[in-house]
Amino acid sequence: MSAERASPTERLACTAARLMKGSTTVFIGTGVPMLAAALARALYAPGLLPVFEFGGVGSTLEKLPLGVGEYNTFRRGVAAMGICDVMEAAQRGAVRDGFLGGAQIDPYGNLNTTVIGAYAKPTVRLPGSGGADDVGSLCWRTIILMKHERKRFVETLDFLTTPGYLDGPGARERAGLPPGTGPYRVVTDLAVFDFAPASRRMRLIALNPGVTLERAAAETGFPFPVARHAAINPDPTPRELKTLREKIDPERVFL
């Protein structure tokens, strides 16, 4: 149960779960976001109200769902709604946080989940937006979970699927998005970033244990500032790992 045995997925889930302290409502996607939300609900935010794209609201997450439309997203919940209903709730400001991911991310937290390469003749055609554009546009804050690779962290996206801070301060508001919303953190298997208020570009605020700044920079396709008091992320605790492995995902569906 030692921290040295924690997998990259477990580290990602633990770091993201800690960011949910004090959270109330959160949009959850498939995979690591489910692990993180279930861990947060178990240890850090017992009143957390999970919201799923296909309409499940308030599931206790006693059994990990396999996807955002699976029956466990509704089990023992407070509401069984539809996709339009939950997106309308986000538009009204009723969903505080949202988990997002993508194939590419740029310095402003904009995401691409549509194509790699030219849109008309892409090298790879990706799943598309789903509800990600709505989550990134309407939630008060978003937490982006990414595998940290240079091909994913790019200066310019091949396609803009989900808005972050677009091209800098004030851009979201000029585009008609709700004031005060936007990306909050980018959590990777190497580091954690926030967004510098003056520029709205990604800024490194913490490294994972054993990861050097040089390694993080080598896997990032654009320059980034470093916070003056950049920290080292705590290792996953034995309690966190035990909860993940024995209670949340004992069948190792996502771990």
Confidence of residue 127 (pLDDT cuts 50, 70, 90): very high
pLDDT in tens, 79-98: 999 999 999 999 999 999 99
Give the residue extent of every domain in the chain. 3-248
Which ranges of the chain does DSSP label H, i.e. alpha helix? 8-18, 32-43, 83-91, 132-138, 171-174, 213-218, 238-242
Distance CA(164)–CA(158), nearest Å, equals: 15
Closest CA to 29 of 132, 128, 180: 132
- Convert the pLDDT of each residue in 130-151 to its tens digit: 899 999 999 999 999 999 999 9
* pLDDT tens digits for range 59-77: 988 899 989 989 999 999 9
pLDDT digits (tens, 9 = 90+) for 20-56: 988 789 999 989 999 999 999 999 999 999 999 999 9
Give the rounded percent of residues in the chain with a pLDDT score beyond 90. Answer: 91
Q: What CATH architecture does domain 3-248 belong to?
A: 3-Layer(aba) Sandwich (3.40)
The pTM of the full predicted model, rounded to 2 decimals, is 0.94
List 53, 88, 219, 246, catalytic entry: 53
Annotated catalytic residue 62: no
Q: Quote the pLDDT of residue 4.
A: 56
